[in-house]
Amino acid sequence: MKANGMQKKKMTGNGFLLLITIALFAVMYIAGMIIFADKGFAKPQMFLNLFVSNAGLLVIACGLTIVMITGGIDISVGSVTALVCMVLADLMENKGVNTYVAVLVALLIGVAFGVVQGFLVAYLDIQPFIVTLAGMFFGRGMTAIISTDMISIKNELFLKWANFRFYMPFGSTNKKGKFIPAYIPPTVVIAVIVVIIAVLLKYRKFGRKLYAIGGNRQSALMMGLNVKRTMFQAYVLDGFLAGLGGFLFCLNSCAGFVEQAKGLEMDAISSAVIGGTLLSGGVGTPIGTLFGVLIKGTISSLITTQGTLSSWWVRIILSLLLCFFIVIQSVIASMKKKAK
């Protein structure tokens, strides 16, 4: 009876939220396929474009999911992305730095943010919102100091990476009857690998520590877990993924500018929450975050395909969904308290 109760509790807290997210995505996408069938919404490439357009966001959202599972938050990732893009563009175009070195520097920027913010949150016990808010302002400010003008990337190797395509054995036919294979760029492959690794973390010692800390920090301490070190490592990993996501974002835009990736942190947080990650910590999965990102991408595609609605409707609908899932989380948390 006790085991059944634990299983039911687990399903209520995690599986139920994930189930709602997957069902919501399926309903939205199928509705789009039916309503906009004449505009090509049902084509395989349209589905793959959800990954193509949001590969960087997916990687960044996975990093945020890891931090949020511990009960933390990081609102600096949008600024880190903008800084990474600007540094990449400036190093390659203005400084003549080798492409591989520029990418390495970009990744190290993300790690540096993770190390500093992780130290302040984990070892100095400063509120993560305050720390990452400072990181957000710092990152955006540094981006403006490097250049207030947009820098377009014309580096041959970088553009070769950006324009490379993996063609699929399936696709669609155009009006002339010619078969056009669907494709994905390397950014999607990297993003999917990151999701798989993030999912596997749950079954490793480090992943179990994250959930234990998010579930009850005091209990984690009593179990002998090094809470501070684990929290620090979570933020360093989050920083690295923010740097990697910024690199993937730059492969899509091939430019660096001050206003780039503005609001990306809110997209990443909302994707994680819509995917079932509790803001209070202890519950969440990168699979849910994946579907949260796909929901955001589907909303954008539906509005773009419709053609007459403002792009701001993406933010409006996302905010409504975010509120909806936060209310569900609150209800589930209340049910758990009553069960105890």
Please tell me the predicted confidence (pLDDT) of residue 336. Answer: 66
Instruction: Tell me the average pLDDT across 168-197.
Output: 91
Indicate the pTM of the whole model: 0.92
| Mean confidence (pLDDT) of the chain | 90
Instruction: Tell me the average pLDDT across 181-197.
Output: 96
Q: What is the pLDDT of residues 224-258, one digit of tens each?
A: 999 999 999 999 999 999 999 999 999 999 999 99
Confidence check: pLDDT of 296 > 50: yes
Of 164 and 40, the structure prediction assigns the larger pLDDT to 164
Instruction: Tell me the average pLDDT across 263-280.
Output: 91
Please tell me the predicted confidence (pLDDT) of residue 340. Answer: 59
Please tell me the predicted confidence (pLDDT) of residue 331. Answer: 80
The two three-digit tokens of residue 23, written as one number: 């069902």
Please tell me the predicted confidence (pLDDT) of residue 338. Answer: 73
CA 273 to chain centre: 11
**77-89 vs 128-146: helix crossing angle, rounded to 10:** 20
Q: Which long-range contacts (CB under 8 A, 24 or more apart) does 28-37 make?
A: 28/295, 28/298, 28/299, 28/302, 29/294, 29/298, 32/298, 32/301, 32/302, 32/305, 36/302, 36/305, 36/306
Please tell me the predicted confidence (pLDDT) of residue 248. Answer: 97
Instruction: Tell me the average pLDDT across 309-333.
Output: 84
Helix (H, G, I), strand (E, B) or coil at 257: coil
Residue 132: pLDDT band (50, 70, 90) is very high
Least confident range of 3-7, 74-78, 200-204: 3-7
The two three-digit tokens of residue 116, written as one number: 């500093």
Please tell me the predicted confidence (pLDDT) of residue 9. Answer: 44
